[in-house]
Structure 1
Amino acid sequence: MSGAAQEWLEKIAALGLPRRVKVMNVCGGHERTVSMSGLRSVLPPQVEVIPGPGCPVCVCPEEDIHYAIRLSLEHKVTLLAFGDMLRVPTNVPKGEVRTLEAARAAGADVRPIASPLDALRLARAEPQRNVVLFAAGFETTTAPVAAMLSDSPPDNLSVLLAARRTWPAVAMLLESGQPSFDALLAPGHVATVMGTQEWDFVVDRHRIPVAVAGFGVDSLLAATWSVLHQLVEGCRRLDNCYPQAVRPGGNQVAQRHLEQVMDVVDANWRGIGVIARSGYRLRGAFAAHDARLRFPLDAAAQRKRAGQMPPGCDCASVVLGRIYPDQCRLYGRACTPRSPVGPCMVSDEGACRIWWASRPRAATGKGSEG
């Protein structure tokens, strides 16, 4: 651990917190740093860091994944998706194709990609091929999709959009009457695109301290100290602890692309339900590139638990910060990275997958990483 990190730990310890404080991080990257570096084991026992709704793969609607599977099997397309999406299971009867990975094994042309530019390159290189990008993600990955569509994309490129906005999920938690945290670490990558102002409501409306954090241990500890110091001093503000990347107002060009290409709509989050103004939909001007319009499917047969988490899976509670990953009924038993049941065990940004990799032993995470 760096000298700067040690200094932040000493400053946190010197605060003398009078009570237990729950600090939520809203980013899978944050949770990965916290878990892999063992931060929970070196923070004071009064500080409890809980993972929040920071995994887009985990909240991607089950029905969207099922649509992508059927699209890949029933239409002559090449379906591209970010790698984590290929292993997320859907709720179908035993023996049916339940993941995009299984669809590929069944003969569908499904390929993992790392960037929307991979889809653009393939569509331009092979204009006779129908290329569909299954675009699930938060603002950071959605903005490049919008930029791609705003720049005269080839006719053979379509997008199956399952994009979500980050802050409405936090707003839903706070307005539920049962917030599970006392302070918030806001995601630095989202703030890089959208700016810090999106998080003003947490301070202004709910009087909860917020600090935008980067992905290094130093930035996370600086942000943790900031919110804890605010609680001790009785002040509330929005602090930017990632100034090297986050600027006031964010990335205006990226925001213009989003506004030009997409409408903000109410959207479903897997296992959680519909959250107001939490999703994106392609504007009418881009209907020619909307995979749902271009490749319609017949009404699917009724499926038990369609749109929900699998039976026994507590991923929704993990995503909302209400339980820790190892408090899920299936964690480490029926659900492992080799044989995942819920989406939180699939994605590298999923709290269950991260906890499995860092091997925490106790529900509170205190002294448990190893």
Structure 2
Amino acid sequence: MNTIKDLSKEIVKRIEDIAQPVKIMHVCGSHEHTIMQHGIRTLLPPEVEVVAGPGCPVCCVPAREVEECLQLAKQGVTIATFGDMLRVPGGSGTLSEAKAEGADVRIVYGVNNAVELAQKIDNDVVFMAAGFETTAPTTAAEIVANPPENFSVLSCHRMIPPALQFLIESGEVNLNALIEPGHVSTIIGTKPYDIFSEKYEIPQVVTGFNPMDVLIAVYLILKQLHEDKAFVQNEYKRAVREEGNLKAQELLDEVFYIKTKEWRGFPPIPNSVMEIKDEFSQVNARERFDIEVGNIPEVVSGCICGAILRGVARPEDCRLFRKECNPTNPIGACMVSKEGTCNIAHRYGSF
């Protein structure tokens, strides 16, 4: 009976047999974690390059949106958000710094906890809703469930397919293939990726998160290239359906409309950000409160987080990495979250 070790050796051999120069991008913090923790890049032939793109939702929130929350906090509003968001840099600091100066900033594990908080306290509560299509349906579900009058949402939800299209068309990365994110794909299915194979002839594989999933995805991509094919292949059939989660999609369509806005490290990406529809304006913090924030430069001196998010640089290319910038003292957003490429590289890369 074959062991996992035997199977992985067999997949690596098959990869070596049909290897050709290729740059494969993934857009998932969990995939990067698996790749780094298990040394998958060291198992691949040198001509097979796997790069990390904008797969960390916390990292992708631009400074301007952090600054919106900082303005609200200064007005006395209670800010509720995920713990990772507290140290993401805005224009004038971080939420962690604001909390240290007396602002009411609370860590929650989900939007439901923020709603519960609003039910318990006599103050306006704004939930800073960061996340991709994976977490956006939970935000939408609470919005349609008639939350307390003192509760509202600052939507920072972003969509993966428009970011991929931007990266492909920009040509900056010169990517040849895509490993698509498993978690996002459970919601949106596989159809939104079809255009990348049909229009740009890019092989794609939707895959799971264990090392075998990732190795199989690389092999399937190389097999498509070897056979001169390009289509979306679903390796993660145990969780992802072609049509995705239709109920979740209906919730997203009911609550959000799509806007063109910037991501951290990116210019405005067309049709890539979810904003709350006018019929739910009473829970849209941008509509309820007086917050006007202009464009804020994303550049932190010496930090190359933007280039890392776009897949054109690795953490090791940054002169601050493991020196001034580390998980205890993160300079850039990519070092803050455990899904951030720099944070993962710090934990699992060789010193």
Q: 1:190 offset after TM fit, Å?
A: 0.4
Does residue 1:293 correspond to 2:294, yes or no? no
1:78: how far off? 1.8
Q: Identify the range of structure 1 (205-214 vs 331-340) with the bigger mean alpha-carbon deviation.
A: 331-340
SS in 1 for 2:135: helix
d(CA) in 1 for partners of 2:171, 2:45? 28
Q: Is the alpha carbon distance of 1:325 and 1:83 closer, same or farther for their aligned partners in structure 2, counting shifts above 3 Å?
A: same
Partner residue of 2:73? 72
1:84 equivalent in alignment to 2:84: yes
Query: How many percent identity over aligned positions?
Result: 39
Q: Is the Cα contact below 8 Å between 2:305 and 2:333 reproduced in 1?
A: yes
Is 1:358 the equivalent of 2:329? no
SS at match of 2:30: helix
Q: Which amino acid aligns with 1:311?
A: S
C-alpha displacement at 1:24, in angstroms? Answer: 1.2
CA contact (8 A) 1:5 1:217 kept: no
Q: Secondary structure at the match of 2:194?
A: helix
Q: Secondary structure at the match of 1:281?
A: strand
Alignment partner of 1:117 is 2:112 = yes
**TM-aligned CA distance change 1:205 to 1:342, over 3 Å:** same
1:261 partner amino acid? V
Please identify runs of 4+ aligned residues in structure 1 that moved more than 6 A. none
Q: Is the 8 A contact 1:270 1:309 kept in 2?
A: no
When structure 1 is superposed on structure 2, of 249-258 and 36-45 the one drifting more is 36-45
- Partner Cα distance (2:54, 2:89) in 1: 19
Q: Look up the SS of the partner of 2:243 in the other structure.
A: coil
Give the whole-Å Cα distance in 2 for the aligned partners of 1:17 and 1:240. 20
Task: Please tell me whether residue 217 in structure 1 is matched to residue 211 in structure 2.
Answer: yes
The alpha carbon displacement at 1:6 in A equals: 4.1
Given candidates 243, 268, 273, the residue that maps to 2:237 is: 243
- Tell me the secondary structure at the aligned position of residue 22 of structure 1: strand
The C-alpha deviation readout for 1:110-162, integer Å capped at 9, x for no partner, is 01111111112222344x33211001111111111011111222211100111
Who is 2:99 aligned against?
104
Q: Secondary structure of the equivalent of 1:14? A: helix
SS of equivalent to 1:161:
strand
Asked if 2 retains the 8 angstrom alpha-carbon contact of 1:266 and 1:278, the reply is yes
Number of residue equivalences: 349
1:211-242 CA distance string (max 9 Å, x none): 00111112222211111111112111111111
CA distance in 1: counterparts of 2:263 and 2:5, whole angstroms: 36
Q: 1:261 aligns with which of 246, 255, 258?
A: 255
Superposition RMSD in Å: 1.8
Q: Measured at CA, do residues 201 and 9 of structure 1 come closer, stay the same or move farther in structure 2, by a change above 3 Å? A: farther
SS at match of 1:162: strand
* 1:5 Cα deviation after fit: 5.9
* Partner in structure 2 of residue 185 of structure 1: 179
CA–CA distance in structure 2, aligned partners of residues 6 and 52 of structure 1: 30
Match of residue 136 from structure 2: 142
**Letter of the 2:118 counterpart:** A
The answer to whether residue 23 in structure 2 is matched with residue 33 in structure 1 is no
TM-score normalized by the length of structure 2: 0.94
**Which letter does structure 1 place at the counterpart of 2:26?**
N
Unaligned runs of 5+ in 2: none
Give the counterpart of 1:197 among 191, 206, 219: 191
Aligned to 2:317: 327
Partners of 1:8 and 1:225 within 8 A in 2: no
User: In structure 2, how many angstroms separate the alpha carbons of the residues matched to 1:149 and 1:160?
Assistant: 12
Asked if the contact 2:70/2:98 (under 8 Å) is kept, the reply is yes
Asked whether 1:282 is paired with 2:282, we answer no
Unaligned runs of 5+ in 1: 93-97, 362-370
Measured at CA, do residues 51 and 6 of structure 1 come closer, stay the same or move farther in structure 2, by a change above 3 Å?
farther
- 1:313 corresponds to 2:303: yes
> Does structure 2 conserve the Cα–Cα contact (< 8 Å) formed by 1:270 and 1:316?
yes
Change (3 A) 1:7 1:242: same
Shift of 1:283: 0.3
CA distance in 2, matches of 1:179, 1:205: 17
Instruction: State the Cα deviation string for residues 238-258 of structure 1 (Å, max 9, x = none).
Output: 111111110121111111111
Deviation at 1:28, TM superposition (A): 0.7
Verify the 8 A CA contact 1:186 1:213 in the aligned structure 2: yes
Question: Residue 127 of structure 2 aligns to which amino acid in structure 1?
Answer: L
Paired residues of 2:19 and 2:222 also in contact (CA < 8 A): no
Would the aligned equivalents of 2:14 and 2:219 in 1 still touch at CA under 8 Å? Answer: no
User: The residue matched to 2:213 in structure 1 has which SS?
Assistant: helix
AA in 2 matched with 1:104: K
Residues 21, 48 of structure 2: 8 Å contact kept = yes
**Aligned partners of 2:18 and 2:223 also within 8 Å:** no
Q: Is the 8 A contact 2:78 2:105 kept in 1?
A: yes
Cα deviation for residue 21 of structure 1 reads: 2.1
2:320 partner SS: coil
Q: Counterpart of 1:319 in structure 2: which amino acid?
A: L
Tell me what 1:348 maps to.
338
Cα distance change of structure 1 residues 254 and 18 upon mapping to structure 2, 3 Å threshold: closer
Query: SS at 1:134's partner residue?
Result: strand
